[in-house]
Amino acid sequence: MSTFLGMPAPPPRSPYGTGNLRGDRAFPRAAHDELGNDQLRRNLGRATGTIRAKRLNVTGEVPDWEALRDAGSAIKTDAMNRLPELLEQLERKVTERGGTVHWARDAAEANAIVARLVTATGSDEVIKVKSMATQEIGLNEHLESVGITPYETDLAELIVQLADDKPSHILVPAIHRNRDEIRRIFLDHIPGVDPDLDNVPAHLAAAARSYLREKFLTTKVAVSGANFGIAETGTLAVVESEGNGRMCLTLPETLITVMGIEKILPRYQDLEVFLQLLPRSSTGERMNPYTSLWTGVTPGDGPQDFHLVLLDNGRTAALADAIGRTALNCIRCSACLNVCPVYERTGGHAYGSTYPGPIGAVLTPQLAGMHAAKDDPNSSLPYASSLCGACFDACPVKIDIPSLLVELRHQHTEQTGVTPEKLAMKAAAAVMRRPALYTAAQKASALGRVVAGRDGTISRLPPPLSGWSDSRDTAAPPRETFRSWFASEEGRAALRAAADEQNTEQNTEQNTDHDDEDAT
Amino acid sequence: MSSARDTVLGRIRDALALAPTPPVVAPRDYRTGRALPDAERLALFTDRLLDYKARVHPCTADRTAEVIGGVLREFGVRRIGVPAGLDARWLSGYEGEVRQDHPDVQPAQLDALDAVVTASAAGCAETGTIFLDGSPDQGRRALSLVPDLHVCVVDLSTVEAGVPEAVARLAPERPTTLISGPSATSDIELERVEGVHGPRTLVVVIRTDA
């Protein structure tokens, strides 16, 4: 391997065609269709509006919020810097406490490990805690392919699974569904559900409770993700609301936790920072209803067989980019989704990845790459933003998402090779370096007026420049350049008039002051 | 072929060599070591718990049994589960069936309980959080999870002002559960609904002089 040669090699991305880190269409095309869905836009607008208000309320009441963000950001950066030693420490601690640690290079390897562990228990079904990592690797699809039935137990994940749908939000995967749609899904898909079920959220939640209760009490194997893994103690953390997490982490005989390697925290004390940052940023609560912390196996309490699967799947590729690696600091709170004007309108499906929204637009291309030659939908993700910066302000670990987007755009342009646009930019740079040529070119640019429409914009250029005009209108060049206007009689007259006006204003001000003095 | 472990660790070392960044020491300028007077901690803790729709019964320690008995009567509870190390005197005001928990008790049997009564390890006033750590008076995690009503006794002296102070009280090796109100979901239109899979009712008995 690379280490034998003493020369570091760039780590590989998540292999193309595996897992759920790539849609089948570029963002603009997918977004175009989603924007046509009025119901979706209404659902999203209402939900994100609600959560934004709650988040501002509970982050505003914490006087040291900025200090917590600084600490959270630095703790994650420190963890990334020391990842090898921290992962080895975590492995040692979990093993000491009776757990078994597995390592997975990619999605396929992680899926195979989990399937093998489930099969070894003799069970053909698992209950699942909502987990981004297992969604990313397509674990459910893999388990089904080998005859193991996964039951999602988070209410939103259950809604998504029953409807054979895809998650569209990190925190609330069924945010694109309203109560009427959810009622319909339950009536159609939950066996034995009360046919008179109405659309009251409390009644819908109760229907999910009675459907899943028997599964919790009888299923022998659970699969979870992890919000945090503490290197110092080997402790794992799952942060949740409904109690489905506690059920899965406590009742079964076997627990398998799939954790991305970037979820590590150096010290147990670090929880004091993240248990403040995460709930307030995520659901807009002072604290989420339930957090479970466990360390290996505890005799007489909870699963007696515990496995931790540490997942790479492109994370080391992101780590190899000094700028891009800050996306690995993400704690999956979803605050950036809720404040994003693009996400609010397109929803999560348009991003095509398990990770939607602003963080998804920077994380997905880094985990799975942007393959120019394959017309990769991921290449469009860094452009799915207006760079307004709201995501940066909302991020509890201060990930500078706008700068990451710009960096990824740069990388994409670099690797795309020679395009007409790029040639044009090169030509422009050459011309601007030579004043005489520049003046001549400006005169020639008046020709642009010929192709402009009546509204004074150029909305369609012939190939090879159509790539430029497909995605933006260009204002037609003015009749006259600034330089030629400045040198003309009209320009000189305008400057004289402006100077006169300024003199008059100054005189008036002095007069006014004088009047005031008189009055006193 | 090398193991996945060696490969992943090798990739990480390569990545860090390709993009070295300076060492970072995390600034910890946030609030720590806060202490608030009893009355303020009680008021804050109570306010937060009520915000989560938990029920709160402040009382002095000598009234523990009376308050617990009253709560269990109010909910019509006939069968409770308790951890093996719970103070038996706390149940002297209750006349129904008491089942002492044991690791061999199956989840379905826990589901047949009307309520569970436990103590707690610590609390956090600012967030309305109760910490259970599996000590003998709190029991294993399943016990305080499966029954639909959880009556939890919290001593005010263990309730800290903020999260850092409360986390400092925890023993990392113990299985720990943080509870902030009854189970809840915001999965339908981000509207909070109390009561999903965990206990749908949380009653907190705060002993103000313990």
Q: What is the pLDDT of residues A487-501, one digit of tens each?
A: 888 888 888 888 887
CB distance A258 to A137 below 8 Å: yes
Smallest Cβ–Cβ distance between B15 and the set A241, A279, A320 belongs to: A320
Domain ranges for chain A: 34-319, 420-479, 485-513
The answer on pLDDT for A419 being more than 80 is no
A292·B179 Cβ contact <8 A: no
The answer on pLDDT for B102 being more than 50 is yes
What's the rounded mean pLDDT across residues B62-90?
A: 98
Q: A2-23 burial string, b = 16+ CB within 10 Å, else e?
A: bbeeeebbebbbbbeebbbbbb
What's the rounded mean pLDDT across residues A375-382?
A: 94
Nearest to B26 by CA among A498, A256, A272, A366: A272
CB distance A401 to A440 below 8 Å: no
Q: What is the DSSP letter of A221?
A: E
Q: What is the pLDDT of residue A457?
A: 66
Answer whether A198 touches B (CB < 8 Å).
no
Q: What is the CA radius of gyration of chain B?
A: 21
**Nearest-neighbour CA in chain A from B127: distance (Å):** 5
Measure the CA–CA gap between A103 and A288, rounded to whole angstroms: 30
B189·A230 Cβ contact <8 A: no
Chain B contacts of A208, Cβ < 8 Å? 196
Q: What is the pLDDT of residue A452?
A: 62
Chain A contacts of B175, Cβ < 8 Å? 292-295, 298, 301-302
Least confident interval from A207-211, A510-514, B67-71: A510-514
pLDDT digits (tens, 9 = 90+) for A19-60: 999 999 999 999 999 999 998 899 899 889 999 999 999 999
Q: What is the pLDDT of residue A502?
A: 73
Answer whether A286 touches B (CB < 8 Å).
yes
| Number of domains making up chain B | 1
Answer whether A283 touches B (CB < 8 Å).
yes
Chain B contacts of A159, Cβ < 8 Å? 187
Q: Which of A93, A214, A264, A276 to mutate to test the interface with B (most CBs of B within 10 A)?
A: A276
**Nearest-neighbour CA in chain B from A135: distance (Å):** 18
For residue B1, the chain A residue with the least C-alpha distance is: A1
List, in sequence order, every residue forming a beta bridge with A126; answer none if it has no partner.
Answer: A150
Q: Retrieve residue A8's tokens.
A: 């570091």
Calculate what percentage of chain A has a pLDDT beyond 90. 74
Asked, for residue B25, whether it belongs to a domain, the answer is no
The answer on pLDDT for B24 being more than 90 is yes
Distances (CA, A) of A78 to A325, B24, B81: 12, 5, 45
Q: Residue B75's domain is classified under what CATH number?
A: 3.40.50.10420
Smallest Cβ–Cβ distance between B2 and the set A1, A77, A206 belongs to: A1
For residue B7, the chain A residue with the least C-alpha distance is: A105
Q: Retrieve residue A265's tokens.
A: 């925290």
Q: What is the pLDDT of residue A216?
A: 97
Measure the CA–CA gap between A4 and B97, rounded to whole angstroms: 69
Chain B contacts of A155, Cβ < 8 Å? 185, 187-188, 196
Q: What is the pLDDT of residue A484?
A: 79
Q: What is the pLDDT of residue B43?
A: 98
Q: What is the pLDDT of residue A511?
A: 47
Which residues 322-341 of A are in CB contact (within 8 Å) with B?
322, 325
For residue A312, the chain B residue with the least C-alpha distance is: B8
pLDDT digits (tens, 9 = 90+) for A108-158: 999 999 999 999 999 999 999 999 999 999 999 999 999 999 999 999 999
Chain B contacts of A69, Cβ < 8 Å? none
In the chain, the amino acid numbered A339 is: V
Q: What is the pLDDT of residue A491?
A: 81
3-state secondary structure of B198: coil
Q: What is the CA radius of gyration of chain A?
A: 28
Per-residue confidence band for A515, with pLDDT thresholds at 50, 70 and 90:
very low
Asked, for residue B7, whether it belongs to a domain, the answer is no
The owner of tokens 């379905």 is B108
**Nearest-neighbour CA in chain B from A97: distance (Å):** 9
Q: Which residue has the higher pLDDT, B186 or A271?
A: A271
Give the other-Cβ count within 10 Å of A119's Cβ. 15
Answer whether A39 touches B (CB < 8 Å).
no
pTM (2 d.p.): 0.87
Distances (CA, A) of B75 to A344, B150, B151, B195: 44, 11, 11, 16
A74·B187 Cβ contact <8 A: no
pLDDT digits (tens, 9 = 90+) for A437-483: 777 766 666 655 665 666 666 666 666 666 556 656 667 667 777 77
Domain that holds residue B160: 37-207
Class level of CATH domain A34-319: alpha beta
pLDDT digits (tens, 9 = 90+) for B142-167: 999 999 999 999 999 999 999 999 99
Give the other-Cβ count within 10 Å of A162's Cβ. 18
Measure the CA–CA gap between A451 and A448, rounded to whole angstroms: 6
Question: What rounded mean pLDDT belongs to chain A?
Answer: 89
What's the rounded mean pLDDT across residues A9-13?
A: 96
Calculate what percentage of chain B has a pLDDT beyond 70. 100
Calculate what percentage of chain A has a pLDDT beyond 70. 87
Answer whether A320 touches B (CB < 8 Å).
yes
Answer whether A64 touches B (CB < 8 Å).
yes
DSSP B138-188: T--TTTTTSSSEEEEEEEGGGEESSHHHHHTT--TTS-EEEE-SS-EE-TT
The answer on pLDDT for A390 being more than 50 is yes
Distances (CA, A) of B169 to A233, A323, B120: 15, 37, 12
Q: Retrieve residue A11's tokens.
A: 């780590």
- Quick one: which H or E segment has residue A255? strand A254-260
Smallest Cβ–Cβ distance between B195 and the set A11, A205, A268 belongs to: A205
Measure the CA–CA gap between B38 and A194, rounded to whole angstroms: 49
Q: Which of B48, B140, B197 to mutate to test the interface with A (most CBs of A within 10 A)?
A: B197
Answer whether A152 touches B (CB < 8 Å).
no
Answer whether A448 touches B (CB < 8 Å).
no
Chain A contacts of B168, Cβ < 8 Å? 269, 272
Nearest to A344 by CA among A19, A51, A10, A21: A51
Contacts of A455 (CB under 8 A, 6+ apart): none
Give me the interface pTM, i.e. the ipTM: 0.97
Residue B159, CB-side half-sphere exposure with 13 Å CA sphere? 32
**Nearest-neighbour CA in chain B from A387: distance (Å):** 25
Measure the CA–CA gap between A495 and A452, rounded to whole angstroms: 30
Nearest to A247 by CA among A278, A268, A230, A224: A224
Measure the CA–CA gap between A13 and A407, rounded to whole angstroms: 17
